[in-house]
């Protein structure tokens, strides 16, 4: 008789819901900088912004080229539920520090927050993957991972819509502090998972203990009336099951049985050196993960700025000029209209034309303005000189420019959410399809081909980005639906957490 397993408990669906909801905070806050790239530039200033902004992702990824490997090891040793709480706490602390850094406009504090966030973020993914591999097996495994990716990616989609809206109404720091609240909710989900998993473990241990006792009673031939208690050794039938069922049973179920047998079995030793024995299939999966995720995620980090320059806030043509090139264009400091010549220029999705110079302007004509300078002198005004957090520009002199930039930023953030929206919409169905039809290698091979077409289209054409981004979402979903559920099939059951950690570390080396 087969023993009780997590994958047979009805509560596994509640575990799936909590595990998916737990990841929303991670995905929501990871992409906070991408959704707020222009707001951060306005807040932090233009000097060296590109370098400082990209460091927000660099400092996140560099430690995670190594740390998830050790995180996976600790997941195998300490258990996924306990590690989820630890890593969720790190995410919350990191987002608090990041939001505080934005409040005091300090890049170093923001970088430190992203480092701390990264320590928890990638390891949380490792622990959650290992948890799902314990609770789901066989034909439910890829489906569970598909649902997980779908719900988790809703965090990215929500971020791209909500963060710019909050920043527009309450400031950039307010948008990041809202992320703190989202991370707090995710930590609550992780804490809720712990007693559920522990209760399931106790039920499994009790069930398996009863089966061992029954087996001992049945095996007694009557020569010895004294009944000996069952020994704490692995039964021969269990060994045989492991030997003959590896190809048919999900590695998730094997991982589960390794991690739950504290009293009934001698635990297998878990060593970091086990990674040296991972097979060719695991390393091929890791290499493909490096390439595909290295194509998708870094692009999303800067997609907001790219879409602004490419589609939604284009630089006006040189022949578009103002009637009065040394005067404010829109706002309370404008005495009369300053039309463009010709009047039809620049057109839809172009930035308003700026004055060529602003010299000797003050906020004295409008005492309601909160200006950062007493006198504004810009003999050669450039777009990078415009600070839309300053009332002089936002309300007094170039209100049209700041308003249109805000609207364009919101549009770009919403459009860049298309790949993640596609992932959220189709991942469960792809996971179900993979479970049913297989062809994992073929499906995984389609993703890089689609991505090549997508990026060539974005690079060498000027049309709408919607169709290419839909293609990127399909490619991303296809690959993820195959990659993560396949990891348990490529390593020994006891090393599933270590394997997830290692492949996550390799993934981050491409970011």
- Which tens digit of pLDDT belongs to each residue from 468-510? 999 999 998 889 888 888 888 888 877 877 788 788 788 877 7
Q: Which of 155, 71, 172 is CA-nearest to residue 503? A: 71
Please tell me the distance from the alpha carbon of residue 313 to that of residue 324, in angstroms, as a whole number.
22
Q: What is the mean pLDDT of residues 273-298?
A: 85
More confident of the two residues 449 and 257: 449
The pLDDT tens digits for 451-470 are: 999 999 999 998 999 999 99
State yes or no: cis peptide before 470, omega within 30 of 0. no
pLDDT of residue 156: 84
Give mean pLDDT, residues 50-58: 90
* Token output for 339: 């039309």
Spatial contact of 464 and 312, defined as CB atoms under 8 Å apart: no
- The confidence band for 426, taking pLDDT boundaries of 50, 70 and 90, is confident
What integer pLDDT is reported at residue 93 of this predicted model? Answer: 96
**Closest-CA residue to 125 (of 480, 494, 510, 493):** 480
Task: Give the Cα separation of 95 and 24 in Å (integer).
Answer: 14
Q: What is the pLDDT of residue 130?
A: 86
Angle at 72 between CA 288 and CA 24, to 5 degrees: 75
Separation CA 241–CA 234 (nearest Å):
11
State the greatest distance between any 2 C-alpha atoms of the chain, in Å, as a whole number. 111
Cα 193 to chain centroid, rounded: 20
Mean pLDDT taken over the chain? 81
Write out the two tokens for 4: 């009780």
What pLDDT is recorded for position 7? 76
pLDDT class of 99 with cuts at 50, 70, 90: very high
- pTM of this structure: 0.65
> Which two three-digit tokens encode residue 434?
């993979």
Tell me the two tokens of residue 189: 């989900």
Kindly state the percentage of the chain with pLDDT values over 70: 84
pLDDT of residue 457: 94
pLDDT surpasses 90 at 206: no
Q: Measured between alpha carbons, how far is 229 from 216 in angstroms, rounded to an integer?
A: 8
CB-based contacts of 80, cutoff 8 Å, min separation 6:
127, 128, 130, 131, 134, 197, 259, 497
Alpha-carbon distance of 112 to 99, in angstroms, equals 11
Average of per-residue pLDDT across 274-286? 84
Between these two residues, 76 and 183, which has the higher pLDDT value?
A: 183
Alpha-helical (H) ranges within 262-372 are: 280-307
* H or E element, residue 141: helix 141-170
**Residues 191-203: what's their mean pLDDT?**
91
Question: What is the per-residue pLDDT for 379?
Answer: 92
| Residues 279, 380: Cα–Cα separation, whole Å | 62
Q: How confident is the model at residue 336 (pLDDT cuts 50, 70, 90)?
A: low
pLDDT recorded at residue 253:
35
Residue 145's pLDDT is 81
With beta carbons less than 8 A apart as the criterion, state whether 311 and 418 touch.
Answer: no
Alpha helices in 62-106 (DSSP H): 67-78, 80-103
As a whole number, mean pLDDT of residues 73-101 equals 92
Residue tagged 């399809």 (tokens):
433
Tens digits of residue pLDDT in 125-182: 888 988 988 888 877 877 888 788 788 888 888 998 899 889 988 889 999 999 999 9
Q: Domains of the chain by range and CATH? A: 9-203+274-310+409-509 (1.20.1250.20), 315-348+356-397 (no CATH)
Q: Which of 81-90, 262-271, 302-311, 420-429 has the lowest mean pLDDT?
A: 262-271
347 or 54: whose pLDDT is higher?
A: 54
321's enclosing H/E stretch is strand 321-322
């Amino acid at each position: 008789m087969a023993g009780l397993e997590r994958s047979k408990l009805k509560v596994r669906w509640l575990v799936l819901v909590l595990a998916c909801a737990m990841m929303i905070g991670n995905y929501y806050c990871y992409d906070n900088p991408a959704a707020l790239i222009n707001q951060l530039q306005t807040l932090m200033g233009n000097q060296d912004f590109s370098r400082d902004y990209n460091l927000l992702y660099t400092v996140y990824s560099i430690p995670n080229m190594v740390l998830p490997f050790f995180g996976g090891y600790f997941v195998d040793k300490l258990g996924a539920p306990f590690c989820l709480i630890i890593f969720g706490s790190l995410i919350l602390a990191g987002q608090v520090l990041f939001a505080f850094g934005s409040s005091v406009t300090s890049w170093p504090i923001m970088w430190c927050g992203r480092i701390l966030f990264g320590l928890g973020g990638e390891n949380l993914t490792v622990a959650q993957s290992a948890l799902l591999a314990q609770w789901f097996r066989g034909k439910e495994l890829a489906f569970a991972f598909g649902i997980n990716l779908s719900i988790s990616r809703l965090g990215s989609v929500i971020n791209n819509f909500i963060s710019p809206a909050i920043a527009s109404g309450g400031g950039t720091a307010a948008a990041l502090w809202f992320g703190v609240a989202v991370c707090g909710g995710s930590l609550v989900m992780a804490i809720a998972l712990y007693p559920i998993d522990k209760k399931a473990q106790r039920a499994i241990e009790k069930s398996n203990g009863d089966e061992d006792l029954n087996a001992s009673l049945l095996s007694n031939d009557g020569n010895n009336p004294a009944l000996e208690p069952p020994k704490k050794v692995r039964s021969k039938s269990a060994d045989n099951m492991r030997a003959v069922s590896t190809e048919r049973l999900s590695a998730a179920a094997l991982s589960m049985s390794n991690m739950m047998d504290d009293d009934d079995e001698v635990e297998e030793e878990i060593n970091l050196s086990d990674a040296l024995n991972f097979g060719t299939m695991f390393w091929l999966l890791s290499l493909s993960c490096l390439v595909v995720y290295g194509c998708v995620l870094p692009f999303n980090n800067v997609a907001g700025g790219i879409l602004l320059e490419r589609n939604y806030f284009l630089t006006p043509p040189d022949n578009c000029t103002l009637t009065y090139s040394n005067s404010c264009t829109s706002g309370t400091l404008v005495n009369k209209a300053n039309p463009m010549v010709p009047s039809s220029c620049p057109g839809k999705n172009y930035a308003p034309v700026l004055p060529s110079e602003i010299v000797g302007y003050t906020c004295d004509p409008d005492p309601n303005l909160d200006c950062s300078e007493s006198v504004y002198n810009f003999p050669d005004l450039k777009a990078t000189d415009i600070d839309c957090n300053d009332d002089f520009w936002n309300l007094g002199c170039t209100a049209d420019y700041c308003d249109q930039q805000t609207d364009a930023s919101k549009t770009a953030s919403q459009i860049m959410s298309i790949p993640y929206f596609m992932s959220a919409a189709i991942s469960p169905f792809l996971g179900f399809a993979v479970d049913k039809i297989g062809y994992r290698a073929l499906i995984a091979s389609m993703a890089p081909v689609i991505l090549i077409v997508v990026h060539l289209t974005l690079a060498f054409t000027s049309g709408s980005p919607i169709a290419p981004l839909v293609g990127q979402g399909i490619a991303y979903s296809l690959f993820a639906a195959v990659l993560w559920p396949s990891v348990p099939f490529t390593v020994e059951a006891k090393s599933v957490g270590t394997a997830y950690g290692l492949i996550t570390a390799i993934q981050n080396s491409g970011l």
